[in-house]
């Protein structure tokens, strides 16, 4: 049984999970439900940190089942959390699959960018700005799915050349040993740094607008802000933070700090350049037609999301139908692979909502809210920003924002807050949940999606590496945001 339990995970990991499951029962009856709930959160974070040892759906799922068995929350309350986040689940199921069918177009666009832009600093800035702009009008998860598709595509090209003696540079056959060892690590480091710049860009753009992150929509709805008003309420914090983020990108690349600064090896650039020329030469009329269909789908995606014609997941489903219909993909076995990438993560997200329901039922955040509201008016936005930042980093920013905005709405309706103070606290909650939460993959769904994607093991992106690379951004974005809340809000 031990051989099959958690499969190929190391024995120490298997015994740790068994130890957790035994200890939790003892803790529940001796330390009580509140302390046990905090222990469960720490254990769940541990399963995320060990994502490369065992996919967190399995080990985290065992913890979620135990939470329900110990009645720290109920299945109905967990279902309610899923219900509230149904749009995110539909987005993951359908939008990521829609992006899958656009892979050839994305590879075409980004291979041109990779070969034309020689400077790593310029390329990094381009990734941050592009991700930020797209996230402001689309949403962070969709943009992350695009980044993952591109990186997996380039890694695939490199791996294909590495594992076969193909002519790369036009001067004859290259020794494939040149492509392994240090060169491969350098290529992985290059992709790692670009992807991390990109996902940080999704946070920088996502905080600015009504549609950037799910909690923005919720906060905007409660406050009665439209797209423009939301942007104007936030810009006093989000614009300085955005430029601070760009400066951080340049600084990290220039001085090669925290795992950034890795350049694209010359041999890898040749591979991508030659791959681009080779693909352009042998592209058939049929393939060109399919690229046109994908480009139209991309245009429809941008229009659909920018004008909010339907929930994001529905737009994704419509694009799957559009692309498969016009590209002639009618066989179920050719459609199915599109869903492989996102469904395990979607299942993990449902497990995560069990943890969120437990936090809600055990009122774990209530003391922090009460402390913040008991402070004098001038200190409240700062306290809310800090509390939201810390709690978002250990749980989930959408959940934290939901809890906090509901509490201040109740205080406002009870006459305890003025409209001006109510608006200041809403801005502090939105920026607090969006900016410091980049510190860990737990806080941002886009980061968690990247950590558990097929790309992470290919480029050696572990939980620890992700936290290390996100650290300077978390300090700068969180710190500049805090200063803006203190002196400009």
Summarised one tens digit per residue, pLDDT across range 324-375 is 999 999 999 989 988 887 788 889 889 988 988 898 899 887 788 788 888 8
User: 472 pLDDT band (50/70/90 cuts)?
Assistant: very high
State residue 26's pLDDT score: 96
Q: What pLDDT shows up at residue 364?
A: 85
170: pLDDT strictly greater than 70: no
**Looking at residue 177, what is its pLDDT?**
60
* Predicted pLDDT at 21: 96
Which of 267, 360, 286, 366 minimizes the C-alpha distance to 329? 286
Cβ–Cβ contacts within 10 Å for residue 262, how many?
19
- Which has the higher per-residue pLDDT, 49 or 455? 455
Given this model, what pLDDT does residue 303 score?
Answer: 86
**Helices assigned H by DSSP within 307-418:** 312-327, 332-335, 337-340, 343-361, 366-374, 380-394, 397-413
pLDDT of amino acid 100: 85
Average pLDDT of span 22-37: 95
Separation of alpha carbons 419 and 76, rounded Å: 35
| CB count in 10 Å sphere of residue 76 | 8
What span, in angstroms and rounded, lies between the C-alpha atoms of 324 and 320? 6
Specify the pLDDT at position 176.
58
pLDDT value at position 301?
Answer: 86
Whole-number Å distance between alpha carbons of 227 and 216: 10
Band of residue 164 on the pLDDT scale cut at 50, 70, 90: low
Predicted confidence at residue 270, as pLDDT, reads: 82
**Among 434, 399, 472, residue whose Cα is nearest residue 41:** 399
Write down the mean pLDDT value for the chain: 87
Cα separation, 461 vs 425, in Å, equals: 36
| CB atoms closer than 10 angstroms to residue 368 | 19
Q: What gap in Å lies between CA 473 and CA 78, rounded to an integer?
A: 33
């Amino acid at each position: 049984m031990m051989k099959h339990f958690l499969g190929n995970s190391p024995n120490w990991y298997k015994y740790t999970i068994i130890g957790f499951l035994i200890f939790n029962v003892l803790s529940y009856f001796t330390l009580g439900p509140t302390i046990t709930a905090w222990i469960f959160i720490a254990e769940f974070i541990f399963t995320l940190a060990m994502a490369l040892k065992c996919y967190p759906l399995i080990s985290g799922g065992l913890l979620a089942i135990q939470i329900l068995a110990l009645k720290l929350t109920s299945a109905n309350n967990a279902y309610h959390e899923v219900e509230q986040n149904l749009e995110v689940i539909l987005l993951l199921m359908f939008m990521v699959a829609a992006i899958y069918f656009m892979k050839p177009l994305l590879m075409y666009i980004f291979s041109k960018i990779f070969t034309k832009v020689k400077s790593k600093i310029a390329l990094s800035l381009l990734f941050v700005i592009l991700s930020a702009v797209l996230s402001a009008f689309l949403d962070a998860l969709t943009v992350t799915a695009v980044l993952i598709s591109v990186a997996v595509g380039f890694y695939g090209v490199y791996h294909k050349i590495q594992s076969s003696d193909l002519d790369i540079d036009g001067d004859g056959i290259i020794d494939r040993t040149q492509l392994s060892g240090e060169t491969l690590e350098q290529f992985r480091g290059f992709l790692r740094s670009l992807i991390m710049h990109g996902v940080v860009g999704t946070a920088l753009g996502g905080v600015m607008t009504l549609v950037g992150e799910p909690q923005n929509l919720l906060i905007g709805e409660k406050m009665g802000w439209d797209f423009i008003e939301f942007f104007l309420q936030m810009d006093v914090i989000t614009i300085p933070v955005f430029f601070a983020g760009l400066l951080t990108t340049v600084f990290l690349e220039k001085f090669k700090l925290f795992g950034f600064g890795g350049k694209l090896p010359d041999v890898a650039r040749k591979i991508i350049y030659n791959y681009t020329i080779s693909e352009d030469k042998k592209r058939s009329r049929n393939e060109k037609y399919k690229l046109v269909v994908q480009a139209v789908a991309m245009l429809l995606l941008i229009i659909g999301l920018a004008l909010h014609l339907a929930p994001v997941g529905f737009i994704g489903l419509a694009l799957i139908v559009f692309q498969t219909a016009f590209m002639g993909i009618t066989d179920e076995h050719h459609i199915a692979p599109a869903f492989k990438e996102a469904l395990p993560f979607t299942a993990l997200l449902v497990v995560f909502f069990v943890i969120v329901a437990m936090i809600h039922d055990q009122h774990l955040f209530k003391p922090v809210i009460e402390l913040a509201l008991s402070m004098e008016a001038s200190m409240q936005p700062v306290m809310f920003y800090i509390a939201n930042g810390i709690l978002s980093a250990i749980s989930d920013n959408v959940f934290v924002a939901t809890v906090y905005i509901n509490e201040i709405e109740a205080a406002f309706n009870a006459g305890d807050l003025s409209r001006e103070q109510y608006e200041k606290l809403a801005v502090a909650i939105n920026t607090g949940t969006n900016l410091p939460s980049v510190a860990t993959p737990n806080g941002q769904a886009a980061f968690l999606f990247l950590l558990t994607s097929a790309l992470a093991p290919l480029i050696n992106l572990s939980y620890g590496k992700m936290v290390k690379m996100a650290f300077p951004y978390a300090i700068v974005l969180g710190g500049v945001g805090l200063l803006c809340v203190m002196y400009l809000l």
